[in-house]
């Protein structure tokens, strides 16, 4: 270890084996033995000499024999390790501020490798994968701590119960288990009892699940360290709710114990039960970190990174074992599969921390890094072949296995109830279809904060009518096409109103530049010409005339509705008619109509006049009425600074922080990737402003707009519907800025709900 960590004798390339392991293997081969423990004292002396020679040969330095030199070498290596890339990533993942330094503690050592009456292990006071209140962990007789986590020897379970479960999962008979893999509880009952009592004491004292490391030196138990244990999202929720029920912590603490982002793991699908029946299990390892993952196989961390960056695809990272060098690749992978290592191996611990599905210690896998393939039984799996992992059972399947939605009842439901109890902000969803709306509603959304009507335009055949409208020569032609769209849009809105059952639904009028909808290929343009019975050249000319140099700042948003009022008329009619129809059927409806991209109050006044006139017309025709609000997006900086004028017309504000960020920073939403990595690296900006709200710039505009808007209209409802609405730190900002709600994509609704509660509790 000193040769590796301090002196830097490492594998020459990623494909090579550890040089020390190579020397050990060579000697074992020479002696004809298979276990390290079969080597004699003389063998070990020979090995030490060959280790020293290898270090000298590769590093040019003698192995130090003076203990002071050794100690300084070790201290230096600890400080050095704090500066390297993986330490930087580690600090990022664990939210350790960059400015924190480190200290080195030098202490006397106890030895778990002093014979068969010595051992070492790692334990958790509760199950870090599922949260079950069950003391568990792994140990090795006659070993040092590194041996347990390195995954070189397969550790044994600490408790009898854990040992039996492990044996059942591994198909090990009870007789074999008891003779070869006995638990600490059986092997050293007195020490076990002491360990059990200590872990219980520690958990009660710290009021959180503990991750403890211990060594038994010649029958005496030594505690090495304890800390709050890392856990999966599922375990985080269960432990918090269990500890609340046990009276160990109160409601507020329970809410604060769950990191909002971690909920993400619970919300995503698990394997579909039906698909599982036909899925072919190819091997089984340990259920190291739960969930379902499917993807193409890669063998090296950088390939997982590459696949995600270049193809947007998440891989299954397959390794003999993982090391801290693999962190980034693990983060980018869908799941991790290792051939070696137990439940506390590097892969298992890190994957749980990341909430990644992981199967560890699948010992039947023969991984050949050079040939980039796995052999398992009669199967060969090559790089790029798909496999699927079940991190909750340890099963590995050939191919892609279908998934199904997660179960959101029980502890999750209780946590969400508590989040609601302690939140001030309401949470809505951005949804454009009844399916998304239903999903959002199930996650507890209290309304739809943004329905992007244009998303409905692409479904099925309707794009043809949309194109007909865009390609028309004049208003009369546009009206013909719009008349075809009216019943379709009405149907869309009806679906949303029904699902939301009286909760507010904010429908935004058409926003994107028209050029986004027109046919671009010659084939499509010819089809369109035929459909509309006009010359092909005319279609081409019209498409060309719509092209803009800077479409995001071009003919879009309310500029469309103000130049083509008939579009606003059609959309308003569809919204109001749908609302009346749904209400007539006995379902309550709460309508909000939202105008995009307003920068000048007059733009909104024109749109509001059209909306009100159209609604009044429908009311007369139907001899019926319904309340509705007309509001605006605040997504142009000018709208924010003139919010006092805009609020004279707008009955609500919704901050479109995607465009507001784009226009405030002058960073293109679509092209930021070219310079963002450099800006982050140089520290010019701290985070991607399209993910985490830029509080000092965009945030100040939001504060100003809320202040000025409410100066005009005292109880002006304000929300946010940009992507930031589902990001915890941005939700916190929204709370402090006094918004009424945040709106985000359906799968982020629970994260936003919990973030909203955190913000309120932190303020309190």
Q: How far is the CB of 735 from Mg ion (least distance, A)?
A: 22
- Taking CB under 5 A as the rule, does residue 725 contact Mg ion? no
Stretch of residues binding Mg ion (CB under 5 A), selected from 461-469, 538-546, 569-577, 651-659: 651-659
DSSP-derived letter for residue 731 is H
Q: Which is nearer to ligand PEP, 468 or 659 (CB)?
A: 659
Q: How far is the CB of 554 from ligand PEP (least distance, A)?
A: 13
The residue with tokens 């409802």 is 717
> Quick one: which of 162, 722, 726, 728 contacts ligand PEP (CB under 6 A)?
722
363 CB-near residues (< 8 Å, 6+ apart): 154, 285, 339, 340
Residues 115-154 that bind Mg ion (CB under 5 A): none
> What is the C-alpha to C-alpha distance for residues 461 and 521, in angstroms, rounded to an integer?
17
208 CB-near residues (< 8 Å, 6+ apart): 228, 229, 239, 243, 257
> How many residues at the interface with Mg ion, by CB under 5 A?
3
Which of ligand PEP, Mg ion, none does residue 142 bind (CB under 5 to 8 Å by kind)? none
Residue 459 φ then ψ, to 5°? -70, 135
**Which residues share a beta bridge with 381?**
374
Q: Which is nearer to ligand PEP, 540 or 641 (CB)?
A: 641
Contacts 24+ apart (CB under 8 A), 646-650: 646/598, 646/601, 646/604, 646/709, 647/708, 647/709, 647/710, 647/711, 647/712, 647/713, 647/716, 648/601, 648/712, 648/713, 649/601, 649/604, 649/605, 649/608, 650/598, 650/604, 650/709, 650/713, 650/716
Q: Which is nearer to ligand PEP, 580 or 737 (CB)?
A: 737
Stretch of residues binding ligand PEP (CB under 6 A), selected from 65-73, 335-343, 493-501, 655-663: 655-663
Which of Mg ion, ligand PEP, none does residue 345 bind (CB under 5 to 8 Å by kind)? none
Question: By rule CB under 6 A, what string of x and - marks binding of each residue 441-480 to ligand PEP?
Answer: ---------x-x----------------------------
Q: Which is nearer to ligand PEP, 210 or 657 (CB)?
A: 657
Which of Mg ion, ligand PEP, none does residue 721 bind (CB under 5 to 8 Å by kind)? ligand PEP
Q: How far is the CB of 452 from ligand PEP (least distance, A)?
A: 5
Which of Mg ion, ligand PEP, none does residue 592 bind (CB under 5 to 8 Å by kind)? none
Question: By rule CB under 5 A, what string of x and - marks binding of each residue 608-647 to Mg ion?
Answer: ---------------------------x------------
Q: Is 281 helix (H, G, I), strand (E, B) or coil?
A: strand
> Quick one: which of 265, 321, 511, 694 contacts ligand PEP (CB under 6 A)?
511
Stretch of residues binding Mg ion (CB under 5 A), selected from 427-435, 535-543, 544-552, 649-657: 649-657
Q: Residues 226, 346, 357, 758: which is the catalytic one?
A: 346
Q: Which is nearer to Mg ion, 411 or 659 (CB)?
A: 659
> Quick one: which of 211, 213, 659, 727 contacts ligand PEP (CB under 6 A)?
659
450 CB-near residues (< 8 Å, 6+ apart): 428, 430, 431, 506, 508, 594, 654, 721, 743
Name the burial class of residue 752, with classes exposed (0-12), middle (13-18) and buried (19+) by CB atoms within 10 angstroms of its CB: buried
The residue with tokens 């865009």 is 470
Taking the mean position of all CA atoms in its chain, how far away is CA 349?
A: 17
Residues 200-229 that bind Mg ion (CB under 5 A): none
Q: How far is the CB of 594 from Mg ion (least distance, A)?
A: 11
**What are the E-state strand segments in 290-425?**
292-298, 316-319, 335-338, 357-360, 366-368, 373-376, 379-382, 386-390, 395-398, 403-404
Beta-sheet strand order (sheet of 316-319): 281-284, 395-398, 386-390, 292-298, 316-319, 335-338, 357-360, 286-289
Q: Which is nearer to ligand PEP, 265 or 635 (CB)?
A: 635
Q: How far is the CB of 651 from ligand PEP (least distance, A)?
A: 18
718 belongs to the catalytic site = no
Question: By rule CB under 6 A, what string of x and - marks binding of each residue 599-638 to ligand PEP?
Answer: ------------------------------------x---
> Quick one: which of 403, 404, 658, 712 contacts ligand PEP (CB under 6 A)?
658
**Which residues share a beta bridge with 375?**
366, 380
> How many residues at the interface with ligand PEP, by CB under 6 A?
10
> Quick one: which of 149, 209, 425, 721 contacts ligand PEP (CB under 6 A)?
721
Per-position DSSP letters for 154-210, written without gaps between them: -PEESSHHHHHHHHHHHT--HHHHHHHS--HHHHSHHHHHHHHHHHHHHHHHHTS-E
> What is the C-alpha to C-alpha distance for residues 114 and 188, in angstroms, rounded to an integer?
15
Q: How far is the CB of 696 from ligand PEP (least distance, A)?
A: 18
Which of ligand PEP, Mg ion, none does residue 158 bind (CB under 5 to 8 Å by kind)? none
Q: How far is CA 685 from CA 67, 85, 662, 690, in A?
A: 46, 19, 15, 12
The residue with tokens 């259920």 is 287
- The token pair at 107 is 């202490």
| Tally of residues, the chain | 764
Q: How far is the CB of 454 from ligand PEP (least distance, A)?
A: 8
- Taking CB under 5 A as the rule, does residue 659 contact Mg ion? yes
Which of ligand PEP, Mg ion, none does residue 221 bind (CB under 5 to 8 Å by kind)? none
Minimal CA–CA distance to 334: which of 363, 355, 311? Answer: 355
Q: Which is nearer to ligand PEP, 214 or 667 (CB)?
A: 667
- The token pair at 298 is 């890669």
Q: Which is nearer to Mg ion, 208 or 659 (CB)?
A: 659
Q: How far is CA 235 from CA 174, 261, 269, 523, 758, in A?
A: 29, 14, 17, 54, 19
Q: Are 543 and 534 in contact (CB under 8 A)?
A: no
346 belongs to the catalytic site = yes
Torsion region of 556: left, alpha or beta (phi above 0 gives left; psi -120 to 50 gives alpha) = beta
- Taking CB under 6 A as the rule, does residue 656 contact ligand PEP? yes
Q: Residues 226, 358, 451, 721: which is the catalytic one?
A: 721
DSSP-derived letter for residue 9 is -
Stretch of residues binding ligand PEP (CB under 6 A), selected from 147-155, 608-616, 656-664, 729-737: 656-664
> Quick one: which of 495, 656, 719, 746 contacts Mg ion (CB under 5 A)?
656
Residues 635-654 that bind ligand PEP (CB under 6 A): 635
Residue 416 φ then ψ, to 5°? -65, -35
Q: How far is the CB of 362 from ligand PEP (least distance, A)?
A: 43
Q: Which is nearer to Mg ion, 495 or 557 (CB)?
A: 557
Q: Which is nearer to ligand PEP, 127 or 723 (CB)?
A: 723
Q: How far is the CB of 757 from ligand PEP (least distance, A)?
A: 24
Contacting residues toward ligand PEP, per CB under 6 A:
450, 452, 511, 635, 656-659, 721-722
Active site residue ranges: 346, 721
Contacting residues toward Mg ion, per CB under 5 A:
635, 656, 659
């Amino acid at each position: 270890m000193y040769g590796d960590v301090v002196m830097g004798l490492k594998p020459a390339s990623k494909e090579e084996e550890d040089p020390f392991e190579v020397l050990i293997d060579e000697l074992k081969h020479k002696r004809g033995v298979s276990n390290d423990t079969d080597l004699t004292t003389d063998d070990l002396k020979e090995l030490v000499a060959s280790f020293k020679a290898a270090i000298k040969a590769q590093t040019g330095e003698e192995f130090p024999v003076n203990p002071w030199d050794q100690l300084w070498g070790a201290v230096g290596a600890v400080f050095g390790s704090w500066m390297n890339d993986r330490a930087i990533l580690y600090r990022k993942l664990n939210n350790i501020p960059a400015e924190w330094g480190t200290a080195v503690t030098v202490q006397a050592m106890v030895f778990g490798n002093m014979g068969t009456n010595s051992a070492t292990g790692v334990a958790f006071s509760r199950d870090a994968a599922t949260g079950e209140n069950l003391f568990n962990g792994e140990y090795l007789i006659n070993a040092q701590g590194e041996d347990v986590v390195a995954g070189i020897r397969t550790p044994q379970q600490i408790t009898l119960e854990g040992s039996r479960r492990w044996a059942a999962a591994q198909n090990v008979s009870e007789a074999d288990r008891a003779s070869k893999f006995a638990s600490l509880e059986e092997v050293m009952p007195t020490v076990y009892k002491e360990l059990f009592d200590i872990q219980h004491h520690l958990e009660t004292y710290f009021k959180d699940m503990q991750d403890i490391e211990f060594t038994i030196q010649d029958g005496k138990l030594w505690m090495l360290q304890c800390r709050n244990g890392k856990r999966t999202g599922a375990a985080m929720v269960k432990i918090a709710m269990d500890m609340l029920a046990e009276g160990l912590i109160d409601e507020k603490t329970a809410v604060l114990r769950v990191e909002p982002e971690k909920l993400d793991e619970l919300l995503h699908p698990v394997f579909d039960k039906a698909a599982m029946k036909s899925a072919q299990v190819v091997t089984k390892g340990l259920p190291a970190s739960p969930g379902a993952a499917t993807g193409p196989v890669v063998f090296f961390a950088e390939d997982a990174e590459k696949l995600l960056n270049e193809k947007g695809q998440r891989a299954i990272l397959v390794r003999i074992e993982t090391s801290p060098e693999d962190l980034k690749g693990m983060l980018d992978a869908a799941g991790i599969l290792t051939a070696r290592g137990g439940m506390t191996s590097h892969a298992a611990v890190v994957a749980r921390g990341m909430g990644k599905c992981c199967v560890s210690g699948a010992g039947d896998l023969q991984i050949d890094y050079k040939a980039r393939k796995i052999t398992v039984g009669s199967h060969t799996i090559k790089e790029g072949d798909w496999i699927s992992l079940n991190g909750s059972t340890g099963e590995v399947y050939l191919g892609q296995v279908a998934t199904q939605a997660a179960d959101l009842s029980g502890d999750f439901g209780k946590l969400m109830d508590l989040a609601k109890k302690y939140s001030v902000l309401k949470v809505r969803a951005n949804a454009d279809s009844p399916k998304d709306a239903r999903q959002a509603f199930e996650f507890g959304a209290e309304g739809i904060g943004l329905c992007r009507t244009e998303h409905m335009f692409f479904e099925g055949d309707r794009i043809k009518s949309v194109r007909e409208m865009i390609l028309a020569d004049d208003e009369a032609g546009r009206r013909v096409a719009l008349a075809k769209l009216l019943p379709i849009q009405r149907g869309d809105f009806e679906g949303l109103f029904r699902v939301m059952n009286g909760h507010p639904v904010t429908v935004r009028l058409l926003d994107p530049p028209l050029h986004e909808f027109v046919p671009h290929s010659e084939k499509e343009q010819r089809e369109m010409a035929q459909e509309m019975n006009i010359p092909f050249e005319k279609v081409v000319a019209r498409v060309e005339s719509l092209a803009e140099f800077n479409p995001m700042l071009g003919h879009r948003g309310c500029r469309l509705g103000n130049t083509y009022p008939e579009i606003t008329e059609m959309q308003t009619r569809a919204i109001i008619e749908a609302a009346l129809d749904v209400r007539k059927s006995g379902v309550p409806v709460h309508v909000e109509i939202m105008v995009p991209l307003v920068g000048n109050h007059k733009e909104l006044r024109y749109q509001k006049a059209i909306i009100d006139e159209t609604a009044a017309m429908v009311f007369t025709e139907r001899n019926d009425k319904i309340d509705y609000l007309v509001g605006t997006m605040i997504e142009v900086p000018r709208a924010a600074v003139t919010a006092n004028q805009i609020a004279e017309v707008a009955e609500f504000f919704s901050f479109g922080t995607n465009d507001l960020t784009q226009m405030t920073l002058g960073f293109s939403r679509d092209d930021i990737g070219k310079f963002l990595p450099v800006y982050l690296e140089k520290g010019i900006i701290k985070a991607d402003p399209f993910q985490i709200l830029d509080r000092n710039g965009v945030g100040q505009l939001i504060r100003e707009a809320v202040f000025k808007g409410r100066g005009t209209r005292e109880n002006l409802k304000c929300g946010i519907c940009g992507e930031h609405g589902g990001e915890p730190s941005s939700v916190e900002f929204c709370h402090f800025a006094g918004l009424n709600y945040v709106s985000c994509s359906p799968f982020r609704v629970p994260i936003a709900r919990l973030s909203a509660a955190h913000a309120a509790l932190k303020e309190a």
